[in-house]
Structure 1
Amino acid sequence: MSKKVVLDQEECIGCESCVEICPEVFAFDADTEKAYVIKPEGGPEDDIQEAMDSCPVECISWEE
């Protein structure tokens, strides 16, 4: 079973850093002012890890 990218929208503060770093996996919802995952199966792991590391509230994670 492969891992997938998960973003906790309850915790998201809408800084958009994940969207800037990895737009192929993350997008921004202007209505809720929160980021969300558009490609849960992931993409470039280095970019996803950088997005996770740059998230100020640490709301992005891998799920098995």
Structure 2
Amino acid sequence: MVDPSLAFTAIAEAPESTRTGLEPLLGGSLRQKAVWVDEAVCIGCRYCAHVAVNTFVVEPDWGRSRAIRQDGDSTALIQEAIDTCPVDCIHWVPYEQLPELEQQLAGQEILPLGVPTPARLKRTLPRRDAG
């Protein structure tokens, strides 16, 4: 199971040659916003996880996308993933909003996608007699 708090604490270890000092976590100006997935709206299509593989993952227990690294992919690649989302559940938000959004998400009741619930039990059709 992927720990959702990783989206707020994971820091990429970039090679020395790619570090500029402008990374947002260092107060730089490369990216002023963070990427956020509204999991209550997500339908688990996996488009974002296929486009920006180092930023998004589909959480296996809930079947919904989650941003696991803010610095996993380029801004252009993340924007492409946002643009492919059929339900518009991925947003750029200020970094300062992430803890508040995480708290809101923790308070929501979200059912797993693709798992039968008591209200959606599997319907079985009657069998025809072979005789």
Compute the TM-score of the two structures, normalised by the length of structure 1: 0.90
Q: Give, in whole Å, the separation in 2 of the partners of 1:31 and 1:42.
A: 22
Shift of 1:41: 4.6
Please report the RMSD computed on the Cα atoms of aligned residues, expressed in angstroms: 1.4
Q: Which structure is higher in RCO with an 8 Å CA cutoff and minimum separation 6?
A: 1
Bigger Cα displacement from structure 2, 14-23 vs 41-50:
41-50
Q: Unaligned regions of 5+ residues in structure 2, if any?
A: 1-26, 95-131
Give the total of aligned pairs: 64
Residue 83 of structure 2 aligns with which residue? 53
Q: Could you list the runs of 4 or more consecutive aligned residues of structure 1 that deviate by over 6 angstroms after TM superposition?
A: none
| Letter of the structure 2 residue corresponding to residue 33 of structure 1 | G
Q: Unaligned regions of 5+ residues in structure 1, if any?
A: none
* Structure with the higher fraction of residues in strand conformation: 1
Q: What percent identity do the matched residue pairs reach?
A: 36
Compute the TM-score of the two structures, normalised by the length of structure 2: 0.46
* Structure with the higher fraction of residues in helix conformation: 2
